[in-house]
Structure 1
Amino acid sequence: MEDYRRIADAVAADVAAGRLRPGDRLPPQRAFARRRRIAASTAARVYGELARRGLVVGEVGRGTFVRAGAVEPALADPGGAPVDLQLNFPVLPEQSALMAASLATMLRPDVLAEALRAGGVTGTAAARAAASELLARTGWQPSPSRILFTGNGKQSLAATIAALVPVGGRLGVEALTYPVVRTICARLGITAVPLEMDEHGVVPDSVRAAAVRAVYLQPVLHNPLGVTMPPARREDVVAVLEELDLPVVEDAVYTFLSDEPPLAALAPERTVLVDSLSKRIAPGLTLGFVVPPDRFFDEIAATVRGGGWTASRFAVDAAAHHISDGTAAVVQQAKRADARARQRLVAEKLDVRADPRAYHCWWELPPPWRADTFAAAAAAEGIAVTPASAFAIGAAPNAVRLALASPPVDRLSAALDVLARIARGTPDLDS
């Protein structure tokens, strides 16, 4: 009898050579056994070996299919790929099956024909209604008529900032902020002005002193600090914005992990809320949302069109399917539980500042460590972390951000053990 591993090698060679392409369906195991003149039990072992190598995936009731790509090992040896604690794109193992079932109806020719049409900045009525449901939070739900769609969250931010702040203008941003906002400002010829922060978020008086045209804030689960503004601070910030008649760009990308109401609920006529699907669902399903008040709606919509940032119709329709049939809500709840589980690991192993709901944490390093030397020491152990300088406008504190979402839980746990060991030691200043 031919060894099942040799048969698996032959199938793997067909995949590598392109004779079997991603998405191709393998024959049923009994048919495979007849063609190869092997026992059915051997065929089962072949299919099991191919699945173990990450080359195929079985779908109950449908069959076995060639995967779209190979799967990385859950925990590489010291010479393998680094553990990524820099990028924060949570994708749960079970969600692809949920999403596949959700999108099944889109494969009908009539439905797909509609999804392949050109998209528009306002999407479809069904998509706007679904997005309104998705973005709703305690005490607030956007009107479907005020929702705009872009290709992703970064495009939503770029279009909004470009519409609100002229070239040469000034945008107030938290002193520690999402790095892409600094890049957007530089590309648009806008000065990013740092706003003072404390343990509750941005300090209201710093907004008053900044002399800016608009403000960009992350009131809920701030990146990188993980801070959420308490109600009293929100009211104080809104009071200053109203006093100065300033618009605010509210980045809500992490709000799916929380039930906190947005600033838009307190200041609906001056808040432009921006969100996306990259973290709520998956980075491969890119879709951004902008919810402006009426007075900014036309200008932002025109900027989205003029910038070439309009979302694809397929992404808009796919998102509407996931929202309407409950898939998005199921994934969101699962990610909430996943984030809390990962934060429990952090609490067990490190002395960090963290909100138990967040997918990231801010680590103020013990002396004599500095952020850059700690990041280098972690990289030497195969762990990528982000030093505070990546987020700072001006002087950077002695801290690093840990993004917790990407590695499998067991690999994250092992990485946190390594980081704790590094922190207990001292930097090698001669290296």
Structure 2
Amino acid sequence: MDDFRRLADAVVEDIGAGRLRPGDRLPTQRRFARDRGVAVSTASRVYGELVRRGVVVGEVGRGTFVRAGGGDPAPVPTEPVTSAVDLELNFPILPGQAEQLLGAVRGLLRADALDVGLRAVGVTGTAAARAAAVGVLSVPGWSPDPDGVVFAGNGRQAVAAAVSALVGPGGRIAVEALTYPVVRGIAARLGVDLVPVAVDAEGMRPDALAACGPVGAVYLQPTLHNPLGTTMSPRRRAEIAAVLDELDLPAVEDRVNAFLRPDPPPLAVWAPRRTVVVDSLSKRVAPGLSLGYLVAPPPLVARVAAAVRGGGWAATAFAVEVATRWSADGAVAGIERDKRADAAARQRLVADRLAGFTVRADPAAYHCWWELPAPWRAETFVAAAARRGVAVTPAAAFAVGASHAPNAVRLALGSPTTAALDTALATLAALAATDPHDTGVE
């Protein structure tokens, strides 16, 4: 075994045995090299291997720290947390929402109607389903072409299909330097390398995209970016579109959160022949009976449809039929309105409970980005919050590659009840006001 991997194993063993605890800072690479009698270059490879395994994280200007709940590979939250107030995952389901959805489902419980849902359906659905999708996805300034609509099982599958259609194995795709964690897993399974692109207060920077080197496509979230909550202005969207034209690149535009903020319209308005729009019902309605949407321009429809079929990501006829009925009877539009009001109310709780802290939050979003006060470190804070029954996500979960993560956490606001969220925010605010040495995790 290579020396650097053996040394990395020894550090992992120390973590497993409790000799190194979540939040502990590792020595500098130079000090590590001197203590272990190896070259600094070998120490650098050790630290790189530990980051790859997900057991440590580098924080800008601070050093390298043991992750909370580290593992191999870096953990990405995929299932609800049951033992704590869950501020990791965002699947808002409102009280009374099931009643709004019941009519369409009840209508399928007749033999003649259910027969429709039991039949096979292609990835482009039916004319009625595509028209319903147009109704769901349209916003002021943009309405998708129904001939460009392709259906997937959910939003994650839609993202996977779009990436698969545009970037082959061994290819590279540009993404924001902090991005939706599931994209990392999708790229790894498809054999696609992620290329981080610097962001600013509006999202992906056009100059950084232009300088990122050869890539096959771009994945980005122009509206209510996860985790940062940023939204690109129309001017920034035009600048990104100009870079796409200059580099002759297609883009995957993730609009899963954009129903909360319909304005400005999609990047696809500025780059209509280059942009594959991805959306779903998972957050608009519910994750338990979802549907993924892809809207591809004419040159890309066939490739996107083939990727959905080839990846096994096609939606079921039942889900397509239910979604079509939900759109027709106004259930989707009604739940969207209710969720916009709910998200705004939850953001008011954030503004109240976390007043005085550095929080980046769009008033329309179901999440916020909290830059932690000194001397707190993200991994230590996550561990301390978990001990108090609140699950939050460190910045490292969103960082692409081995890049240093900011000293911040994301709070997902949509899953708990409003009362539970209020209590959790108060708990986190009190925790952040304490000294980390007094929490039992430092």
Tell me how far apart the structure 2 counterparts of residues 375 and 135 of structure 1 sit (CA, whole Å).
36
Which residue of structure 2 lines up, in the alignment, with residue 147 of structure 1? 149
Q: 5+ residue gaps in structure 2?
A: 1-81
Deviation at residue 209 of structure 1 after TM alignment: 1.1
1:130 aligns with 2:132: yes
CA distance in 2, matches of 1:85, 1:100: 28
**Hey, what's the Cα distance between the residues in 2 that align with 1:172 and 1:92?**
35
Which runs of 5 or more structure 1 residues have no equivalent in the other structure?
A: 1-79
Residue number in structure 2 paired with 1:415: 424
Residues 377, 430 of structure 1: alpha-carbon distance in 2 compared, 3 angstrom cutoff: closer
Please report how far the alpha carbon of residue 346 of structure 1 lies from its aligned counterpart in structure 2 after TM superposition: 0.2
Secondary structure at 2:211 match in 1: helix
Amino acid of the residue matched to residue 107 of structure 1? L
- Give the equivalent residue in structure 1 for 2:115: 113
Q: Distance in 1 between matches of 2:191 and 2:105?
A: 41
Could you say which residue in structure 1 is the equivalent of 2:289?
285
Q: Which moved more, 1:93-102 or 1:133-142?
A: 93-102
- Given residue 360 of structure 1, which amino acid in structure 2 is its aligned partner? H
* Residue identity opposite 1:202 in structure 2: M
Encode CA deviations 1:17-71: one digit per residue, 9 max, x unaligned: xxxxxxxxxxxxxxxxxxxxxxxxxxxxxxxxxxxxxxxxxxxxxxxxxxxxxxx
Query: How many pairs were matched up?
Result: 352
Secondary structure, in 3 states, of the residue corresponding to 1:233?
A: helix
Partner of 1:300: 304
RMSD (CA atoms): 1.0
1:386 and 2:416 correspond: no
SS at match of 1:103: helix
CA distance in 1, matches of 2:440, 2:347: 34
In 2, Cα distance between equivalents of 1:203 and 1:259: 22
How much has 1:294 moved relative to structure 2? 0.9
CA distance in 2, matches of 1:189, 1:114: 37
Where do 4+ consecutive residues of structure 1 move more than 4 Å? none
Structure 1 position 337 matched with structure 2 position 341: yes
Matched residue type, 2:102:
A
The equivalent residue for 1:192 is 194
Which amino acid is 1:142 matched to?
A: P
- Picking from 389, 395, 407, the partner of 1:398 is 407
Which of the numbers 234, 246, 249 marks the counterpart of 1:246? 249
Q: Which residue of 256, 273, 278 maps to 1:269? A: 273
Q: Single out whichever of 231-240 and 100-109 deviates more from structure 2.
A: 100-109
Question: Residue type of the partner of 2:384?
Answer: A
Deviation at 1:143, TM superposition (A): 1.2
1: CA distance, partners of 2:301 / 2:278: 13
Whole-angstrom distance in 1 between the partners of 2:393 and 2:259 = 23
User: d(CA) in 2 for partners of 1:85 and 1:266?
Assistant: 35
Deviation at 1:430? 6.1
Q: Distance in 1 between matches of 2:125 and 2:202?
A: 37
1:96 to 86, 95, 98: 98
Q: Which residue of 2 aligns with 1:233?
A: 236
The whole-number CA distance in structure 2 between the counterparts of 1:305 and 1:259 is: 30
Based on CA coordinates, which of the two structures has the bigger radius of gyration? 1
Q: Which residue of 1 aligns with 2:210?
A: 208
Partner of 1:327: 331
Measure the CA separation in 2 of the matches of 1:101 and 1:216.
37
2:373 matches 1:366: yes
In structure 2, distance between residues paired with 1:303 and 1:236: 29
Q: What secondary structure does 1:322 align onto?
A: helix
- The reply on whether 1:220 has 2:227 as its aligned counterpart is no
The secondary structure found in structure 2 opposite 1:90 is: coil
Give the letter for the 2:219 counterpart. Y
**Superposition TM-score, scaled by structure 1 size:** 0.80
Matched, 1:180 2:189: no
Give distance in 2, aligned partners of 1:301 and 1:101.
31
- Following TM superposition, by how much is the alpha carbon of 1:119 offset from its aligned partner in structure 2, in angstroms? 2.1
Q: Do the aligned residues in 1 keep the contact of 2:384 with 2:440 (CA within 8 Å)?
A: no
Could you tell me which amino acid in structure 1 is paired with residue 233 of structure 2?
P
Residue 87 of structure 2 corresponds to residue 85 of structure 1: yes
Identity of aligned residues (%): 58
- Distance, in Å, in 1 between the alignment partners of 2:237 and 2:267 is 7
Shift of 1:103: 2.1
Other structure's SS at 1:184 match:
helix
TM-score normalised to structure 2 length? 0.78
